[in-house]
Amino acid sequence: MKKLITVMATMALAMALSAVGFAQQDQSAQPSAQQPTSDTQSGQQPSADQQGAQQPSAPSPDSSSSMQTSQGSSFTGTVVKAGGKYVLKTSDMSYQLDDQKKAKQFVGQQVKVSGTLDSSTSTIHISDITPAS
């Protein structure tokens, strides 16, 4: 009976580990799909120059937040205090403002905020804030 339980536990562990292995294999297969087909078909390793050329096209873990960031946008709305922080309230939603000192000067006013939006946190990184005309 002990042998049967041991064998079943070993098989369950092996199945769990193989599932994890396949999941990791799928993730690692995505960057290799971006390599030129001539290198992968011939079995040759890409040279250092080719690897350097491929790196900018493949997103790095550090650049994942930049993919969710829109660059050079402007937003018009009213600066209000919500939850102890200054936010920009627009007609369709509210955005957190990263520079609280700049925002404080315009509380209750209609403003135009220029900056970049981090859509993952709904935060505008302010480059300029002016009264709306």
pLDDT tens digits along 67-117: 455 567 899 999 999 999 999 999 999 999 999 999 999 999 999 999 999
Co-location of 22 and 43 in the same domain:
yes
Q: Give yes or no: residues 89 and 127 share one domain.
A: yes
Residues 6+ apart with CB under 8 A from 128: 113, 114, 115
Of the candidates 17, 39, 58, which is a domain's last residue? 58
Which helix or strand (DSSP H or E) is residue 86 part of?
Answer: strand 85-89
| pTM greater than the 0.85 cutoff | no
Q: How many domains does the chain have?
A: 2
Per residue in 27-62, pLDDT (tens digit) is: 444 444 444 444 444 455 554 454 444 444 444 444
Q: Residue 24: give the domain boundaries.
A: 2-58
18 and 74, same domain (yes or no): no
> Same structural domain for residues 42 and 84?
no
Same domain, 99 and 124: yes
Structure tokens at 97: 């403002």
Identify the CA nearest to 76 among candidates 67, 88, 65, 63: 88
Say yes or no: 49 and 72 in one domain. no
Spatial contact of 110 and 78, defined as CB atoms under 8 Å apart: yes
| Same-domain status, 41 and 84 | no
Residues paired with 76 in a beta bridge: 112
Q: Alpha helix (H) ranges present in the chain?
A: 2-32, 37-42, 48-54, 64-67, 100-104
Looking at the structure, tell me whether residues 71 and 26 fall in a common domain: no
| Same domain, yes or no: 38 and 93 | no
